[in-house]
Amino acid sequence: MRRASLEEIKNLWLNKQWKDDDDFHLYISSPFCRVACSYCVYKGKLINFRNEDDVKQFNNYYYNFLPNLIDEFAEVITSRKLDSVYFGGGTPNLMSAELMREIFDRIPGFKDIPIKGIDLNPAYITKEQIDVMHEYGFTLFCWGVQSFNKDSVKHHKRSYVSYERFKEIVEYTKTKGIYQSADLICYLHKYNTEDVQIYLDDLQKCMDLDLDFATMAADFHTVASDQNLGDLFVEASKDFVRNSENYNLELDLINGAEISPRKPITRAIRKGITGKQFLTEILSYFGSNDFPEAISNILALGDDTSMYEIMSYWPRELFYITKRLNNEPAFYVIYENIQSINNIESYQEPAKPARKAGPAPSNMANLRKMLNLNI
């Protein structure tokens, strides 16, 4: 791994040899969180809006660092038609509606980008934010529900949203014609088979709301320590979705989307949505959850607080991350000139004896080691 200058990174993008059918995506990082959910591998910067220093850090990011970074890469952004933009986090909807406008307006040609998606925490969403995102042409809201079971959510210090409140949010968003999904996680409380039923109940509620798709995952640390629980999650997900009336399993629609206990994540996609439609109209790129199998060219702008979540990359060519140091961007190239990514390890077997199933550890040491990062 080596550090690269801003000019080097910009020149790499501007001199990239594009193929005619290459796609190009923009990722904007929102690195702040109100709470540190203990299951999450992404450790955002905690923000308390009653704390003066926290507010200063938040404002420095959104009113200085991020706008300046967007300006620096404006020539790259306009050098090729963008297929999509995605706002991830962290918690993007910690931005006020007014701040959202300022960031959206800063991105060159923003309204012309055909696919616009965003991660949203339903516990913090406002009608005004939904209205602004609709005004700017957002096409996908990914709701971070995780579970409607209050004990499961509170166990991980996550802000809770009830099913009744979420239903109101979903119904209002439907009037805007925006695709909607929900993220669900299994093994958040008991770390055993009881959690599977909680997860399936959550999935049924999402289906009852007629969401366009649901992204289902098992707690990474739990299945890494007990492969039987990973197997159970995978088989329960397959059986439940395939026996549902209105949803298809992603792997049945999209070639190469098979799930396994090693990578326990999949999606239930509403019937009527084809695999091609899903990949070209709804969620058009494979993000960092798919590293290193990612197939998209992604320019990620922001602060990579987890050293994992907003990695910029060109498949088989270049992988780098952006860090915010003294409110200035610092770039670290992790891999370059890769002939084949098939041999890059994206998963490691747990140490023997495996850790007992339970909440995720509070540090990122294992993930940093996995990605060979030492900053």
Q: Which tens digit of pLDDT belongs to each residue from 169-188?
A: 999 999 999 999 999 999 99
How many folded domains does the chain comprise? 1
Specify the pLDDT at position 354: 38
Q: Is 163 left (phi over 0), alpha (psi -120 to 50) or beta?
A: alpha
> Is 116 among the domain residues?
yes
**210: Cβ–Cβ under 8 A, 6 or more apart, which residues?**
246, 270
Beta bridge mates, 324: 329
Give yes or no for a contact between 246 and 207, defined as CB atoms under 8 angstroms apart: yes
Exposed/middle/buried for 213, CB within 10 Å: 0-12, 13-18, 19+? buried
Report the b/e string of 16-26 with b at 16+ CB within 10 A.
beeeeeebbbb
Find residue 21's DSSP bridge partners.
none
Q: Domain for residue 341, yes or no?
A: yes
Do 157 and 36 form a contact (C-beta atoms < 8 A)?
yes
Q: What residue numbers bound the domain in which 206 lies?
A: 2-370
Q: Tokens at residue 350, please?
A: 């747990």
327 belongs to a structural domain: yes
Q: Which pLDDT score, from 0 to 100, does residue 232 have?
A: 94
d(CA 346, CA 286): 14
Note whether residue 354 is domain-resident.
yes
What are the pLDDT digits (tens) for 124-150? 999 999 999 999 999 999 999 999 999
CA distances from 216 to 16, 95, 145 (A): 35, 26, 11
- Asked whether residue 199 is assigned to any structural domain, the reply reads yes
Distance CA 201, CA 207 (A): 10
Q: What is the pLDDT of residue 342?
A: 40
**In this structure, how many other beta carbons lie within 10 angstroms of the beta carbon of residue 292?**
19
User: What pLDDT, on a 0 to 100 scale, did the predictor assign at position 333?
Assistant: 87
Q: Is the pTM of this model over 0.85?
A: yes
CATH number at residue 332: 3.20.20
Give yes or no for a contact between 299 and 63, defined as CB atoms under 8 angstroms apart.
no
Give residue 116's pLDDT.
97
- Quote the pLDDT of residue 303: 86
Q: What's the pLDDT at 86?
A: 94
Q: Determine, yes or no, domain membership for 366.
A: yes
C-alpha radius of gyration, the chain, whole number: 20
Distances (CA, A) of 56 to 52, 101, 106, 263: 6, 20, 21, 38
Which residue stretches of the chain have pLDDT < 50? 288-293, 307-308, 339-375
Domain contains 375:
no
